Amino acid sequence: MAPAVGITWTNKSALALARGTDPISAMQETARNLVLKAREAGWEGPPFNPVKIVELLGAKMSANANIADARLLATSDGATIEFNPQQPRERVRFSIAHELAHMLFPDWREEIRNRNGHDPASDDWQLEMLCNIAASEFVLPIGSLPAAIEIKPIEDLMLERRRYDVSAEAFLIRLAKVAETPISVFFASPISDPDNERRYRIDYAVSSPLAPFLQVQGIVLPAESAARNCVAIGHTDRGVETWYTGDATAIEFVGIPGYPGTRYPRVAGIVRLGSSQFGKSPIRYVHGNILDPLGVEPKVICQIVNDRAIRWGGGVARKFARKYPQAELEYTQKFIHLVPNQRLGRALITKLDEGVSLASIVAQDGFGPSLFPRVRYSALQIGLREVAEYAKRLGAEVHMPKIGTGSARGDWGVVEEIIEDELVRAGLAVTVYDIPPKREQLELFG
């Protein structure tokens, strides 16, 4: 495999966003946090309308048929996103989402952000790449695709993404994040080598939870790669190439829109990896009793609790309280010592039996009837991260019901992807329990 050199970050907006960290990770986390807030407020799809994110950021929208695509303006009233309503619907949604991404940079007010106003010779491509990553999260956010989606040939996947009314980039990113098989997708930009021959350099890559981690950012694809045949948007090709993993690996390519001002399209690739990373396995779903989890110790069981009640409430929590009253008392003592506005996101761990612990994740805002779901996905993500660290120290498996989908009214698709990000990617075995279906009453007559 060719050496990965990474990106030398020079764009001042990217550096201001990152604050000494990796700009891609910083943008992904910032965009994800916004999306989770929108989902908590009842944002539904697909298709997902980015207007919800516009509202969260306090921006305004204005149609303007005199501009080519879209732009972000700083006005006396705040931010205004102008867009061309005569563009195709998919393009309008992505353009609005792209301009929203510009608002995530702390210096966005300093100049007009215009998608078609960049100098291709400058480092603005770094800014455009980060905005594409965030925009992809806005138009096809967490929980949009089922984990069991089939990884079809690239041509079929491009037809499939039309069902979701999103760009190829957004669709392939989300596909990789939920796939139950080991795949990786990457996005590469055209560059010229010393012989003035068109080559492609990987900007960034996204892998599925079961895929091995490979550092490929910055790799320049071989001149003979099939990627060079994707000379127009939507054109595809495929090949068995060795540069990605060091072994012969099937890679499929598709041309996608280039950065503003560039002559050739970028290329997206999907890599079908032969095996999962050692120690990683998909979430296991079973019918059974979470109070009597399968397997051998040590085990960590997870439940979601709200940030108000000092005792375990209804549903599964009530069953734990009845079976383990001492554990509930221990939980109460830990809970009352937390500062009220700092409870969300904490994972309070109590002992149930020898080798069995219960992690109560505070990821529900209050209790009782509510216009919107009470689940707080960001808090769940933080709490599961804490659980992952604890389980790894013990060498434990993690067990749970479909947390967050009861009185918290969360979307299991969102919760499932958070579990994959925080637990499965960490190499932890996860088992999710459903109640066995009730047997139908045998009809003896008629």
Residues 187, 79, single domain; the answer is: yes
In a shared domain, residues 260 and 309: no
CA distances from 284 to 61, 100, 167, 391 (A): 44, 37, 31, 17
Measured CA to CA, the distance from residue 320 to residue 136 in angstroms comes to 40
CB atoms near residue 89 (< 10 Å): 10
Could you tell me if 194 and 341 lie in one domain? Answer: no
Examine the domain organization and report whether 154 and 257 are in the same domain: yes
Q: Are residues 407 and 371 in the same domain?
A: yes
Please check whether residues 198 and 317 belong to one and the same domain: no
**Boundary of a domain, candidates 233, 252, 272:** 272
In a domain, 364, yes or no: yes
Name the domain boundary from 272, 304, 322.
272
CA angle 67, 174, 30 (to 5 degrees): 70
Determine the pLDDT at residue 444: 47
Q: Are the beta carbons of 103 and 59 closer than 8 angstroms? A: yes
Residue 409, in any domain of the structure: yes
Is the pLDDT at 254 greater than 90, yes or no?
yes
Check whether residue 252 and residue 338 sit in a common domain.
Answer: no
CATH number of 39's domain: 1.10.10.2910
Q: How far apart are CA 151 and CA 176, in angstroms?
A: 9
Q: Who has greater pLDDT, 226 or 123?
A: 226
Residues 291 and 261 in one domain: no
109/377: higher pLDDT: 377
Peptide bond into 265 cis (omega under 30): no
pLDDT at 212: 86
What is the structure's pLDDT at 282?
85
Point out the domain boundary residue: 272, 307, 342: 272
- Can you give the pLDDT at residue 90? 82
**pLDDT for 21:** 93
Whether 444 maps to a domain, the answer reads no
Which of 138-152, 336-350, 356-370 is the least confident region? 138-152
pLDDT digits (tens, 9 = 90+) for 20-37: 999 999 999 999 999 999
d(CA 207, CA 176): 5
Does 278 have pLDDT greater than 60?
Answer: no
Same domain, residue pair 394 and 428 = yes
Q: What residues pair up with 149 in beta bridges, in sequence order?
A: none
Q: Quick one: 45 and 67 in the same domain?
A: yes
Residue 134, domain member (yes or no): yes
Closest to 201 in 3D by CA, of 183, 175, 228 = 228
User: Is residue 401, in this structure, part of any structural domain at all?
Assistant: yes
Same-domain status, 288 and 268 = no
Contact 254, 236 (CB under 8 A): yes
Structure letter (DSSP) for residue 375? B
The dihedrals phi and psi of 49, each to the nearest 5 degrees, come to: -85, 120
When the pLDDT of each residue in the chain is averaged and rounded to a whole number, the result is: 90
**What's the pLDDT band for 435 if we cut at 50, 70, 90?**
confident
In contact, 266 and 253? CB cutoff 8 Å? no
Q: Is residue 34 part of a domain?
A: yes
Mean pLDDT of 115-136: 78
Number of domains the chain contains: 2
Judgement on whether residues 267 and 387 belong to the same structural domain of the protein: no
pTM of the model: 0.84
Q: Please check whether residue 166 lies inside any domain of the structure.
A: yes
What is the predicted pLDDT for the residue at 47? 83
Pairing between β-strand 266-272 and β-strand 356-364 as defined by DSSP bridges: unpaired
For residue 1, being part of any structural domain is answered with no
| Distance, CA of 234 to CA of 253 (rounded, Å) | 9
Q: Which residue in the block uniquely carries the two structure tokens 């009314």? A: 165
The Cα 102–Cα 257 span in angstroms is 18
* Domain coverage including residue 293: 284-434
